[in-house]
Amino acid sequence: DAKTTQPPSMDCAEGRAANLPCNHSTISGNEYVYWYRQIHSQGPQYIIHGLKNNETNEMASLIITEDRKSSTLILPHATLRDTAVYYCIVRVESGGSNYKLTFGKGTLLTVNP
């Protein structure tokens, strides 16, 4: 399984961009990088995913380096409601199943007023 490394915690000021890094140096060519977040007492929530190219949606942007060994999730204008644990996941394919996600410890992002 490709493993990911994330800082345990980060702080961000409200209204500023939050940049969350993730290292996945053993990623395979057909493995996608997914980001989920988990707000306290709730189930994880999908944010974004990508393979090679940078991706953007209504929630965030995902920047993947050219060698695919690391990525950065960007929340352009963080709000207090973005305080959560953010998980960077490289999806493991096992016998065709796409749903065996291997969660690491994630990054606790605290957005401060």
Partner 1 sequence: KAGVTQTPRYLIKTRGQQVTLSCSPISGHRSVSWYQQTPGQGLQFLFEYFSETQRNKGNFPGRFSGRQFSNSRSEMNVSTLELGDSALYLCASGQGSWTGAKGATNEKLFFGSGTQLSVL
- Residues at the interface with partner 1 (CB under 8 A): 30-32, 34, 36, 41-46, 49, 51, 87, 91, 93-106
- Which residue number, 40 or 113, has a Cβ lying nearer to partner 1? 40
- Which residue number, 81 or 113, has a Cβ lying nearer to partner 1? 81
Cβ neighbours of 37 (radius 10 Å): 23
CB 107 to partner 1: min, Å: 13
Strand-pairing partners, residue 109, are 10, 84
- Which residue number, 10 or 92, has a Cβ lying nearer to partner 1? 92
Show the CA angle centred on residue 18, arms to residues 68 and 38, nearest 5°.
85
Identify whether the C-beta of residue 33 lies closer than 8 Å to the C-beta of residue 50. yes
